[in-house]
Chain A
Amino acid sequence: MKRYVVLAAMALVSACSVPQPYRPAPSATTVPPQQPGSPPVMETQPAPAPPPIEQAQPLPAPVIREPVLSPASRALVGQAQTQLASKNFAVAASSLERALRIEPDNALLWIELGKVRQAEGNYVQAENMARKAVSMSSNAPKAQSAAWNLIAESLRARGKNPQAQEAQARAEQLR
């Protein structure tokens, strides 16, 4: 736990010192940072070859589609992280809301907004934002894992340790 906090803090600081270009998910327990300026790409995975009919088979693996931030959102998230570092929660949140107006279906933005809520101690909204992110990332395991991580953090902050562990397990399972 302590390790996570320290790592999260480090990641936060590093993200803030260079607000641009965007480095998503400044948290130790989530996905590794994207290369700066990398073009928007869609990670896809071809469906496996059809299995023989006799065997009981799992469903064909769904196409994986991790969310990517648009340049505009990336700039706003960068701003928000700087503002968050100076504990300017309301302003950080309003930058993220601007991004959400442009890309309301981007799970990464909901996670970022949830992190602002978590940082200002609004754990319930942090969890709710993360749940919203989970609901829109069923085919994006990385984003979903990050969202479950945030859920675990917000539960832990409220002393709900068993549920937090469960959420943490889901996060790790997805990674």
Chain B
Amino acid sequence: MPKPNKLRTTLKKFRRQILIGGSLVVGLGLIALLVWILYLDRIVTQQFEGRRWTLPAQVYAEPTELYVGQTFGADAMEQELRRLGYHRVDSPKNAGSYSRRGSRIDVVSRRFQFPDAVQESLPLTITADAKSIVSITSRGEDVPILRLDPLLIGSIFPLHGEDRAVVTPEEVPAMLPAALKVVEDRKFDTHHGVNVGAIIRAAWVNVRAGQIEQGGSTLTQQLVKSYFLDNRRTFGRKIEEAMMAMLLEVHFDKQDLLNAYINEIYLGQDGRRAIHGFGLASQFYFGKPLAELQLHEVALLVAVVRGPSYYDPRRHPKRAKIRRDLVLTLMAEHKVIDDKAARQASQRPLGVVREGTQTGSYYPAYLDLVRRTLRRDYREEDLTEAGLRIFSTLSPLVQSRAEAALAQELDRLEKARKKKKPEPLEGVVVVTSPSSGEVIAMVGGRQATFEGFNRALDARRSIGSLVKPVIYLAAMETDRFNAASIIEDAPIEVKLANGKTWKPQNYSQESYGPVPLVRALAQSMNLATVRLGMDVGLSKVTREFKVLGLEKEPPELPALLLGSLDVSPLEVAQLYNAFASGGFNTPLRAVRAVLDAEGKPLKSFALEVTPVASPQAVYEVNQMMVQVMERGTGASARANLPSGLVVAGKSGTSSDYRDSWFAGFSGSHLAVVWIGYDDNTPTGLTGSSGSLAVWSRLMGSIPTTSLSMTLPEGLQETSIEYLTGYAAKPGCGDELVTVAVPQGTQLPIKPGCEPTVFGEIGDRAREWWQGVTR
């Protein structure tokens, strides 16, 4: 047996070398391990200490103002509170709760930092009659006006889709950390990042059950996994995770880690938006701040941690409830709560707000507008990471009514269609508050929550007869025309620059002869309008578009007079806003102010107005647009509107019925509606048969006020015959309409209505008549 001997002797001979080699390998291994640990340590400390989370900019809706006279009846007031996530109790003591006895509502408002001031939490007593608020007092003193905390409508999150609303430890209800520890990690307070016992126990339970019932990960490990690593589940990953967890525990105290966990963990999905952290999850599932959650709600969120999609309380309510009740049982077993509280809480329903209701819903088109507004001043990273707070002008009520009106009418229009098209009919709604220029609602397509092409901003489509009021305004401003001026609606030929001749037609293929301008506009007569526009001059008309707020002056082409002008719905809103605000241009805005993460004001978008047209001319045209709604192409809106509501507007249809438009306004709202196909194929709809229905349904469903303009100096109102334009008066003349004309305007008098009849009608009429004919 020489061989083993030989081996032994060889080994003996090289013992030194083997020892050195072995220790070298071990040493190098140890160094590599050390380097790896140091490397992980660097990642852990740098990322965790530096910026613990990227904070998407938070966007708030317009706050609700409470004041005497505000149009909230008691029911509407209560609805408003519920919408903001206030909950009803017997006697309200904590912020975010209220009680109601008939017309009296007691509420404790929430503290909120507005861009201009902090509104402290206040106990309020509000009384309301059927229609409006009658009194507001706080501790016995009258409160003239107060803002409620605004709805958080979303955030501008980065492309990878993580959205969160970070909370501080003070905003976390005490039950939440306790419940998390009991359910996820009972040794959290004592372990050093990993819990070996728990891992073994979990493995045993899972093997026995044949499925994953327990996870052995500590909260720290879960945090590491969510914060530093991707979703791959390999053994190497597990080791890395455990090591990083231990390193985290070395550097940071338990309170910091727990708070990080609460803000980091993934809790649900909303389309492209991933809901991270309990702060946002609370808004997403319950529509209220985390601090106000009750026991059964906290338990549900803790239940969801284990599998946000498996235990999705909206899609799998039964599963979610079973797990929630398990969480409650565990909490009782470990004396976090008493048995009675657990029993009571498990009797409660899940309490999750419906998706698509105002709370917790999501407005991509509107947020897109906000994002674009801010991109002029901020880098993309500032918006998605720096924790800015953005105060928008969105009215959630008007937004939801606009979404509903569009969806309902598009469904109706498609059902009425004989030939079905595979492609869905699309639509846009933009609503502004004219005097402030604030965009208060924007729907970018039929599926309001679908993100993608934002038609409200990017679909530039031919606006058809929506151009007409601009032409009539240009005409009024020449002082050669007024609402009663007679214009010939008869065939007209226009020589074009290329030598060809343009022969426009009326929609009805007929012509109407001599008509007053008010009727030509109300019935959207093409021939009369082309004649008027050519008489006024194309250059004056194109300039008018620019002056009213269009970014670029349109080319001087006769076809412009019939609306071959491609603009977006938002630009149409800008154009019509100048009419609705009496001839003053106000740049449309969706953002009032921006605060940084510390609450310091960064920027405010102040109200600016610029006079762009003579108030007289605008008044005359607006009065004509009232007639569009009274007896012209907008008349069918009446059925959807409250009786007596005065509105003005104009329909638009592009050639071959490719685009159906309606733009119109009341005293407090301007709305622009577009309907069409994305591929620009004909819809068969006119402005009146398509968009007008959406417009009137919307206007009829929001609290809005009548258009009431002050008659400007130098104008007077008078009656003329709608068909002929003759001056007439009640009792003498057919189908009278009220128009505004410059004082001293001489109007042809309806034969048989001459001043001789004055004696019979009396002094008042004579006086009125002098006013008209002077």
Residues on A lying within 8 angstroms of B by beta carbon are: 50-51, 53, 57, 59-60, 70-72, 74-76, 90-91, 93-95, 97-98, 100-102, 104-105, 113, 125, 128-129, 131-132, 135-139
Contact = CB atoms under 8 A, between A and B. Distances in A.
B14 to A, nearest CB: 84
A97 to B, nearest CB: 5
A71 B68 CA distance: 8
A136 B710 contact: yes
Given A128-B609, A138-B712, A101 B115 contact: no
Nearest to B68: A71
A45 B116 CA distance: 41
A67 to B, nearest CB: 10
Interface in B412-429: none
A139 B145 contact: no
Contacts of A104: 433-436, 668
B665 interface: no
B29 interface: no
A29 B473 CA distance: 36
B763 A75 contact: no
Contact of A59 (B610, B667, B774): B774
The 3 closest A-B pairs by CB, nearest first: A75-B144, A72-B67, A104-B435
Contact of A72 (B115, B145, B615): B145
A151 B617 CA distance: 22
A72 B69 contact: yes
B682 interface: no
Given A50-B764, A104-B668, A128 B435 contact: no
A131 B611 contact: yes
23 contacts: A59-B743, A59-B771, A71-B67, A72-B65, A72-B145, A76-B145, A90-B116, A90-B601, A93-B606, A100-B436, A100-B607, A101-B433, A104-B434, A104-B435, A104-B436, A105-B435, A128-B608, A128-B609, A129-B609, A132-B609, A135-B582, A135-B710, A137-B710
A97 B433 CA distance: 12
Given A75-B144, A94-B604, A139-B710, 6 more contacts: A72-B144, A93-B607, A95-B116, A101-B65, A128-B608, A131-B584
B40 to A, nearest CB: 48
Contacts of B104: none
Contacts of B120: none
B396 to A, nearest CB: 16
A50 B67 contact: no
A75 B67 CA distance: 10
Nearest to B616: A135
B607 A113 contact: yes
B766 interface: yes
A35 to B, nearest CB: 18
Interface in B94-151: 115-117, 144-145, 147
Name the residue in B144, B434, B608 with the highest tally of chain A Cβ atoms < 10 Å from its Cβ: B144
A93 B766 CA distance: 48
Given A90-B601, A129-B609, A132-B611, A53 B144 contact: no
A91 B114 CA distance: 11
Contacts of B764: 50
Name the residue in B604, B606, B711 with the highest tally of chain A Cβ atoms < 10 Å from its Cβ: B606
Contact of B435 (A93, A100, A137): A100
A71 B766 CA distance: 42
B330 to A, nearest CB: 49
Contacts of B611: 128, 131-132, 135
A136 to B, nearest CB: 5
Contacts of A136: 582, 710
B392 to A, nearest CB: 14
Contacts of A75: 144-145
Contacts of A59: 716, 743, 770-771, 774
Nearest to A129: B609
Nearest to A83: B116
Name the residue in A74, A93, A101 with the highest tally of chain B Cβ atoms < 10 Å from its Cβ: A101
B708 interface: yes
Contacts of B535: none
Name the residue in A75, A94, A105 with the highest tally of chain B Cβ atoms < 10 Å from its Cβ: A94
A31 B764 CA distance: 34
B690 interface: no
A97 B592 CA distance: 10
Interface string B736-774: 000000010000000000000010000110110011001
A125 B587 CA distance: 13
Contacts of A91: 116-117
B774 to A, nearest CB: 7
Name the residue in B116, B708, B743 with the highest tally of chain A Cβ atoms < 10 Å from its Cβ: B116
Nearest to B668: A104
A94 B67 contact: no
A138 to B, nearest CB: 5
Contact of B763 (A50, A72, A129, A138): A50
A60 B145 contact: no
Name the residue in A95, A100, A132, A137 with the highest tally of chain B Cβ atoms < 10 Å from its Cβ: A132
A59 B436 CA distance: 35
Contacts of B435: 100, 104-105
Interface in B656-670: 667-668
A101 B771 contact: no
A162 B145 CA distance: 43
A7 to B, nearest CB: 28
Given A50-B766, A132-B609, A102 B67 contact: yes
